């Protein structure tokens, strides 16, 4: 029995667009410019939708446009200057400061979720407004995020306004690459001259692979070398506080302090002031720090996250400058 027709024959009364499309696909399937004058502006499209048509495409063009760029990025960022683990409010704030101050550095952001932003898409208990205590309003002014001034603190009407604005600016920097849906599942280490280990990069895998190591045979990871790693993986979530937990497992840190109870006034100053290099080559900021230091949590106020990111960026540049003269093995 003849196989069913592979393609539905074009209807006899072919529309102008189908004709144009058939004429524009050459014998070898290459798409030729069809020469039709097409609407270029939204105004030209208005109320002319019956003659609307997209430019012709071949599926392989889409596939190649995506894969060529992704693999070029993997090649380029295999050797990064700074890796940021976790694209929450702290990691993205650090990335923004680095993108702005050091356009010469290659910054790779590794984010486990498909959607970056961490816990900063909403305020507390899924409410919309985001509160930041002064002087964190300085960062909002830097980004151009509007807010209501309430005296000692400011309010952004929706946390997503802050996070989407920050994300759009971070992603616009030419020296920053976001690898989302990608997990850091280990750290690259070197023996440190002063004993112990020095962190020298990140070990990555697709997050969906990372989540299934226990039910599949070995699926090896990939790597990114970098003299500086900034870890801001938060305190909760499927892989929260990743790097500090890994440091304990590898014996680089004796134990975790464990996040303490909620105390806004104590927590926020401590997180910003103690954002630092916790082992050579690894800076920890944001709520991940509360896990290693045993710092209080602050609950639904985000000023410490952004200013911890600002400080982490400053520490990362200092560390990069200090180590760039070292021979990398």
Residues in contact with ligand 48N by the rule CB under 6 A:
85-91, 110-113, 118-120, 183-184, 232-235, 237, 239-240, 242, 262, 286-288, 297-299, 302, 305
Q: How far is the CB of 142 from ligand 48N (least distance, A)?
A: 17
Residue 68 C-beta: closest distance to ligand 48N, Å: 25
Q: Which residue is nearest to ligand 48N (CB)?
A: 88
Contact of 185 with 204, CB cutoff 8 Å: yes
Nearest to ligand 48N of 163, 319 (CB atom): 163
Q: Closer CB to ligand 48N, residue 280 or residue 301?
A: 301
CB within 8 A of 212, min separation 6: which ones?
219
Do 285 and 312 meet the contact criterion of CB atoms below 8 Å apart? yes
CB of 152 to ligand 48N, least distance (A): 17
First to last CA, the chain: 66
CB of 70 to ligand 48N, least distance (A): 17
Q: How far is the CB of 133 from ligand 48N (least distance, A)?
A: 11
Q: What is the DSSP string of 98-162?
A: HHHH-TTS-EEEE-SSSS--TTTTS-GGG-S-EEEETTTHHHHHHHT---EE-SSEEEES-HHHH
Give the chain's radius of gyration (CA, Å): 25
Choice between 282 and 298, CB closer to ligand 48N: 298
Which residue's CB is nearer to ligand 48N, number 227 or number 231?
231
Q: Fill in the DSSP letter of residue 218.
A: -
φ, ψ of residue 57 to 5 degrees: the values are -145, 160
Nearest CB to ligand 48N, comparing residues 120 and 200: 120
Q: Is residue 239 classed as helix, strand or coil in its secondary structure?
A: coil
Minimum CB distance to ligand 48N, residue 38 (Å): 40
Phi then psi for 148, rounded to 5 degrees? Answer: -95, 130
Nearer to ligand 48N by Cβ, of 86 and 201: the residue is: 86
Q: Report in angstroms how near the CB of residue 180 gets to ligand 48N at its nearest.
A: 9
Q: Please, which residue, 21 or 298, has the CB nearer to ligand 48N?
A: 298
Strands (E), 147-306: 148-149, 153-156, 176-179, 182-191, 197-206, 222-225, 228-231, 260-262, 276-279, 282-284, 296-297
Of 213, 218, 184, 181, residue with least CA distance to 201: 184
Q: Which residue has the tokens 């003299």?
A: 227
| CB-nearer residue toward ligand 48N: 34 or 266 | 266
Smallest separation (angstroms) from ligand 48N to the CB of 105: 20
């Amino acid at each position: 029995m003849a196989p069913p027709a592979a393609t539905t024959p074009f209807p006899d009364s072919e529309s102008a667009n189908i004709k144009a499309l058939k004429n524009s696909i050459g014998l070898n399937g290459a798409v030729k410019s069809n020469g039709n004058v097409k609407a270029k502006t939204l105004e030209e499209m208005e109320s002319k939708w019956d003659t609307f048509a997209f430019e012709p495409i071949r599926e392989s063009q889409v596939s190649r446009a995506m894969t060529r760029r992704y693999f070029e990025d993997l090649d380029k960022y295999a050797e990064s200057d700074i890796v940021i683990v976790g694209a929450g409010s702290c990691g993205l704030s650090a990335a923004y400061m680095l993108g702005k101050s050091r356009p010469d550095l290659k910054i790779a952001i590794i984010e486990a979720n498909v959607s970056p932003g961490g816990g900063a898409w909403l305020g507390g208990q899924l409410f919309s407004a985001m509160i930041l205590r002064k002087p964190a309003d300085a960062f909002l002014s830097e980004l151009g995020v509007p807010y209501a001034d309430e005296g000692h603190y400011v309010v952004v009407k929706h946390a997503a306004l802050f996070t989407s604005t920050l994300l759009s600016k971070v992603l616009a920097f030419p020296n920053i690459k976001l690898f989302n849906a990608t997990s850091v599942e280990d750290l690259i280490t070197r023996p440190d001259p002063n004993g112990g280990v020095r962190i020298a990069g990140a070990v990555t895998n697709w997050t969906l692979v990372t989540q299934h190591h226990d039910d599949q045979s070995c699926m090896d990871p990939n790597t990114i070398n970098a003299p500086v790693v900034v870890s801001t993986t938060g305190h909760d979530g499927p892989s929260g506080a990743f790097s500090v937990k890994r440091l304990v497992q590898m014996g680089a840190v004796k134990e975790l302090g464990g996040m303490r109870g909620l105390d806004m006034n104590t927590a926020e100053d401590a997180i910003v002031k103690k954002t630092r290099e916790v082992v050579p080559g690894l800076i920890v900021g944001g709520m991940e720090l509360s896990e290693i230091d045993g710092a209080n949590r602050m609950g639904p106020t985000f000023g410490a996250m952004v200013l911890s990111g600002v400080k982490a960026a400053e520490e990362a540049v200092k560390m990069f400058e200090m180590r760039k003269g070292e021979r990398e093995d």
